[in-house]
């Protein structure tokens, strides 16, 4: 078991630091960034972002044009999220009391946030928005989000996400559950809260995606630990039935908002051959390179930098593990980035070098694992 995975153990009431001298929060932040999930600080002992600096709290100030990120300061919550390992060391190394938040959109995550709050049952039209529940249906015993998401799944002939042992699930201090999935097909799924006005999936079920963040597993707050349950430690692909429900309930942006297109299988094979890595490790790298290549179809908003950083980090691990030649790794990363963002060599060159350097600290095995 790696140091990073040890902080996520489900058989311990409190996560333990990875090793002496390294804070638990820094270890968690590294673990998340290593998976391509941009991280940002949470206020000590809380699940909300760390406060902005005084200048950022001035009336009329917004994240647009804010100079804090360029200066290495956190601000504006998930909008400050980063994959920069030097900045991560600076933030959590200097403030081990900070928790860890993850910007879901840039991370390519869709997290189903299921609550178990004691609340009065709303009208039948708000339990499952868009689905009529006849007055003849007995709702006795239905009390929270675990029940509504279970009913929705049953109506679609699927298993409830609460029972999905193939994906990362995190128990919250309040008794809820976060069920993590990877977004597919380039969709920019949007956040929602409960079943009020606007988009909504189910009563007491929130969706964390673009425009939101999620608390990282292992994070400790004053209320308790966000503790991974079961054995899965990686998000599984978003189930097709759940994707259809998210689309039905308005969780996709308007049609004019660009979204990256999936890379055809033939193109994936070409990237795999070009990478020079083989077996499971090669397929892992090829999938990440294909995501970078797919950014060519979108002028902006495709998460190009985050995807390139993740691919470079993985390639660095393969180099350290003796599975990929260093020059070959830099070549294929550069060629893939050049096809996606021609004329931006200075920008993506730094991303590639930084990702390769960071990845070399964690050698990967032939199976693509640390």
Helix axes 279-294, 304-320, angle to 10 degrees: 160
Q: Are 318 and 289 in contact (CB under 8 A)?
A: no
How far apart are alpha carbons 222 and 5 in whole angstroms?
23
The phi, psi pair for 103, rounded to 5°, reads -75, 110
pLDDT in tens, 140-172: 889 999 999 999 999 999 999 999 999 999 999
Q: Is 254 exposed, middle or buried (0-12, 13-18, 19+ CB in 10 A)?
A: exposed
Q: How many other C-beta atoms can be found within 10 angstroms of the C-beta atom of residue 273? A: 12
Note the pLDDT of residue 171.
97
Note the pLDDT of residue 237.
96
b/e 305-332 (16+ beta carbons within 10 angstroms → b): bbbbbbbbbbbbbbbbbebbeeebbbeb
pTM as predicted: 0.65
DSSP-assigned beta bridge partners for residue 221: 224
Position 274 pLDDT exceeds 50:
no
How far apart are alpha carbons 245 and 251 in whole angstroms?
9
The phi, psi pair for 102, rounded to 5°, reads -125, 130
- CATH class name, domain 107-211+218-248: alpha beta
Element (H, E) at 275: helix 265-275
Q: How many other C-beta atoms can be found within 10 angstroms of the C-beta atom of residue 235? A: 22
Helix axes 326-340, 279-294, angle to 10 degrees: 30
Q: What percent of the chain has pLDDT over 70?
A: 81
Position 347 pLDDT exceeds 90:
no
Report the chain's mean pLDDT, rounded to a whole number: 82
Closest CA to 309 of 104, 85, 102: 85
Kindly indicate the confidence band of residue 30, based on its pLDDT and cuts at 50, 70 and 90: very high
Torsion of CA 170, 102, 356, 236, to 10 degrees: 40
Q: Are 128 and 151 in contact (CB under 8 A)?
A: yes
Q: Are 317 and 358 in contact (CB under 8 A)?
A: no
DSSP-assigned beta bridge partners for residue 229: 169
Note the pLDDT of residue 282.
67
Where do you find CATH 3.30.2250 in the chain? 107-211+218-248
How far apart are alpha carbons 275 and 272 in whole angstroms?
5
How far apart are alpha carbons 33 and 359 in whole angstroms?
11
How far apart are alpha carbons 55 and 324 in whole angstroms?
46
The residue written with tokens 């995550």 in the block is: 109
How far apart are alpha carbons 107 and 37 in whole angstroms?
4
Structure tokens at 120: 């009065």
Quick one: average pLDDT of 337-341? 82
Quick one: average pLDDT of 87-102? 94
Kindly indicate the confidence band of residue 255, based on its pLDDT and cuts at 50, 70 and 90: low
Q: Are 286 and 270 in contact (CB under 8 A)?
A: no
Kindly indicate the confidence band of residue 360, based on its pLDDT and cuts at 50, 70 and 90: confident
Q: Are 181 and 238 in contact (CB under 8 A)?
A: yes
How far apart are alpha carbons 287 and 38 in whole angstroms?
19
């Amino acid at each position: 078991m790696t140091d990073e995975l040890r902080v996520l153990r489900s058989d311990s009431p409190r996560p333990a630091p990875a090793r002496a001298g390294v804070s638990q929060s820094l270890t968690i932040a590294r673990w998340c960034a290593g998976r391509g999930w941009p991280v940002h600080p949470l206020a000590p002992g809380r699940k909300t972002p760390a406060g902005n600096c005084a200048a950022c709290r001035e009336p009329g100030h917004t994240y647009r044009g804010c100079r804090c990120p360029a200066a290495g300061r956190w601000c504006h919550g998930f909008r400050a999220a980063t994959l920069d390992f030097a900045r991560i060391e600076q933030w959590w190394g200097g403030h081990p009391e900070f928790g860890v938040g993850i910007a879901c959109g840039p991370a390519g995550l869709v997290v189903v946030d299921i609550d178990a709050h004691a609340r009065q049952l709303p009208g039948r039209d708000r339990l499952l928005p868009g689905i009529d529940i006849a007055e003849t249906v007995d709702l006795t015993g239905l009390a929270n989000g675990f029940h509504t998401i279970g009913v929705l799944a049953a109506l679609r002939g699927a298993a409830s996400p609460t029972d999905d042992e193939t994906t990362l699930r995190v128990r919250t201090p309040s008794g809820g559950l976060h069920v993590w999935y990877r977004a597919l097909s380039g969709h920019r799924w949007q956040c929602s809260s409960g079943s009020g006005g606007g988009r909504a999936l189910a009563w007491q079920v929130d969706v964390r995606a673009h425009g939101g963040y999620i608390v990282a597993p292992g994070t400790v707050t004053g209320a308790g630990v966000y503790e991974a349950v079961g054995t899965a430690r990686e998000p599984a692909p978003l189930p097709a039935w759940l994707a259809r429900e998210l689309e039905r309930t308005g969780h996709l942006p308007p049609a004019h908002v660009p979204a990256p297109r999936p890379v055809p299988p033939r193109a994936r094979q070409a990237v795999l051959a070009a990478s020079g890595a083989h077996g499971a490790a090669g397929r892992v790298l090829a999938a990440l390179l294909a995501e970078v290549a797919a950014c060519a179809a979108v002028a902006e908003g495709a998460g190009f930098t985050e995807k390139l950083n993740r691919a470079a980090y993985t390639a660095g691990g393969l180099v350290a593990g003796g599975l990929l030649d260093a020059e070959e790794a830099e070549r294929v990363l550069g060629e893939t980035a050049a096809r996606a963002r021609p004329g931006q060599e200075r920008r993506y060159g730094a991303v590639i070098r930084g990702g390769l350097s960071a990845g070399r600290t964690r050698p990967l095995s032939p199976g693509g694992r640390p």
